[in-house]
Amino acid sequence: MGQVAISLKNISKCFKRYARPVDRLKEVLLPGKSRAEPFWAIQNVDLEIRRGETVGIVGQNGAGKSTLLQVITQTLTPTSGSVIVNGRISALLELGSGFNPEFTGRQNVFFNGRILGLSQEEIEQKFDKIAEFADIGDFIDQPVKTYSSGMFVRLAFAVAVNTDPDILIVDEALAVGDVYFQQKCFTRLRELRDSGVTLLFVSHDSSLVCKLCDRAILMEHGKMVLDATPRQVVDLYEAKLLQKRDQQPNQFAITMTDTTEVLEASVAITSKAVNVQSVRILNEFDQSVRSTFSDGEIKLAIGLLFLEAANDPHVGFKIRTRTGEVVFESNTLCMNQTIGRIAAETAIEARFRFKVPLPPGEYTITIGVAEGGIGRCEFERVLLMLQDTMTLKVLPDPDAIVWAGMVNLSPQFELHTLTPGLEQV
C-alpha cells in the first residue's frame, strides 16, 4: 500500500443557491450582479488514499459525502484545489448514473465498459461473468427503464466489480437489494480488497465500516472533521447523531478522550444531570471480574448518581468486538422495564444479568443513560454515554461443544427413525 491511489489537495466545491427561480433568469439577462447565495458543499478537504486501502466515509445527510465522491470520480469539477487519481475508477453513485434508461441491460454493460476504458473484445470476454453475477435472467435484454431498483443495482454492481477496477467507489448502493444479493456483494468486496483494489464507499452502516475498512473519515457541513480508525470515526459519528436527535442538544458535551473523570472511554457524552460512579462485571457470587467463559452468565452493574431529578430515566448498554462491530445492544425501555422518577442527589445501581454466548476474545462495553422514552427505542434527552468503558474477556469453555461463528446457539440434537432398520449404537 505504498503508492498513492487518490490525492486531494485543498478541495472545495461551491454551488450557487437562488432564493427564487426568477433570480436565476435575472442574473442571465442582467449580467454583472450576482443574485445567488454561495453554498459550499465541501470545503478545504485534504485526503490521501494509498493503493489497496479500504476507506469508509460517514456523515449525516448533507455533509458533503456524495459531492466528495463525485469530485474524486471527476464527474464534478472542484471550485478550487487539485485532484490526482492513479488507476481505473469504477463507481456506483446515484441510482441510475452512467446508465441509459432506453438501452437494454446488455447494451448498458457494453456502454459502461467502454466508458471505463475496456475494449469491445474485453467486454465480450467479461459479459457472461457480469450477467451471471447480476442474475436478472431475460431482463438483461429489456430496457433498463423497466427495471426495479433492486434489478438495477444488481446490474450496476455486477458491471462495477467485474471490469477489473483499480479503484472502486460505492455510494450507499448496497442499501437496495435482497439479503442474498447483499451477501454476494460483500463477499466480492472482500475479494477485491484482498486482491489490492482500493475501496472507497459511503455507508450509514457503522458495523460494516468497522468490519471492512482500514480507516474512515467523518464529514460534517462540507468539512472533514476526523480521519482516523473506523472505530474512532464511528464512535464520534454516533455520538453526534445522538446529539442531533436529542431535543435539548445543548445540555451535554461530546469529547474524544482516552479517559474521563471516572472511567476509560473512547468517546464520552456527559451532562450535568448524572454522573457515573462505577461500572462492574460481576460473577454469580457478585464478585467483580473482567472475564467469563463462553456461554457463562454475568451481571453488568452500573452505579449512577443523579444530580438532577429525572422523570423517566432509562439505562442501557452495548457490547462490541475489538473492531467495533455491535454484537448486542439494548436498554430498559426496549426491555419494557420502568425505573420510575428519581429525585436529585439520588444514587442507584442498575444491574443487567445475561449469558455471554460469544466466541473467545476481547469485547468492549458501552453504557448510556437517557430520559423520556418515546415508543420502543427513542428518547427525548440523552443524559450520558460512555463508549468502551471497559473490556470483557471471553475465555474458551473446555466443557462446551466445539463451534464456530458469531454466537453459540447451544443446539440440541435429536434423531428420529423414519424407516425401519436403523439401529442406534
In this structure, is residue 419 part of a structural domain? no
Write down the mean pLDDT value for the chain.
85
In this structure, is residue 415 part of a structural domain? no
61, 179: one domain: yes
Best-predicted range by mean pLDDT among 12-21, 190-199, 371-380? 190-199
In this structure, is residue 417 part of a structural domain? no
13, 161: one domain: yes
CATH of the domain at 191: 3.40.50.300
In this structure, is residue 413 part of a structural domain? no
pLDDT of 402 > 50? The answer is: yes
180, 256: one domain: no
pLDDT of residue 254: 53
226, 238: one domain: no
294, 256: one domain: yes
In this structure, is residue 261 part of a structural domain? yes
pLDDT of 85 > 60? The answer is: yes
pLDDT of residue 174: 65
Q: How far apart are the first and last CA of the chain?
A: 57
**pLDDT tens digits, residue range 302-324?**
999 999 999 989 999 999 998 78
**pLDDT tens digits, residue range 139-165?**
999 998 998 888 888 888 888 888 888
pLDDT of residue 421: 64
**pLDDT tens digits, residue range 243-279?**
665 544 444 555 554 433 344 556 677 788 899 999 9
294, 151: one domain: no
Q: Which of 108-122, 234-248, 264-278, 374-388 has the lowest mean pLDDT?
A: 234-248
In this structure, is residue 407 part of a structural domain? no
Among the three residues 230, 264, 293, which one is the final residue of a domain in this structure?
230
Among the three residues 230, 251, 286, which one is the final residue of a domain in this structure?
230
Tally of CA atoms within 13 A in the half-sphere of 235 that contains its CB: 30
CATH of the domain at 377: 2.70.50.60
Range of the domain at 239: 233-395
127, 240: one domain: no
pLDDT of residue 44: 94
268, 247: one domain: yes
**pLDDT tens digits, residue range 185-208?**
888 888 999 999 999 988 888 888
Number of domains composing the chain: 2
183, 317: one domain: no
In this structure, is residue 406 part of a structural domain? no
Looking at residues 292-307, what average pLDDT do you find?
94
197, 223: one domain: yes
In this structure, is residue 410 part of a structural domain? no
Among the three residues 175, 199, 230, which one is the final residue of a domain in this structure?
230
pLDDT: is 95 or 280 the higher one?
A: 280
Rounded to whole angstroms, the Cα distance separating 404 from 68 reads 40
226, 241: one domain: no
**pLDDT tens digits, residue range 216-241?**
999 999 999 999 999 889 888 888 87
Percent of the chain exceeding pLDDT 90 equals: 46
pLDDT band at 22 (very low <50, low <70, confident <90, very high): confident
pLDDT of 51 > 80? The answer is: yes
pLDDT of 403 > 60? The answer is: yes
pLDDT of residue 117: 79
239, 223: one domain: no
